[in-house]
Copies of this chain bind each other. A is one copy, B any other.
Amino acid sequence: RAPKGRCFCADKGVNMVSPKLIEKVEITPPSPSCENQEIVVTLKNGMEQKCLNPESKFTQKYIMKALKKRLA
């Protein structure tokens, strides 16, 4: 899907980011201003922001792990 309107991500984004560099992960649902689901990761080094590919194994595993951590 091509990004439309005021999407933050111009493309699918990176497949992977070093977990140690992750400050936070933002999940934005589709909205009138952007029809795409977006996942943006903010990095610790200078607060750089990168789009994270929601389909990548890394993204799926990282987020699943984050949810499970509190279940332990």
Contact = CB atoms under 8 A, between A and B. Distances in A.
Contact of A25 (B22, B26, B31, B70): B26
A26 B29 contact: no
Contact of A24 (B26, B67, B69): B26
Chain copies in complex: 2
A63 to B, nearest CB: 6
A66 B24 contact: no
Which bucket holds chain A's interface residue count?
20 to 34
A27 interface: yes
A28 B37 contact: no
Contacts of A48: none
B27 A63 contact: yes
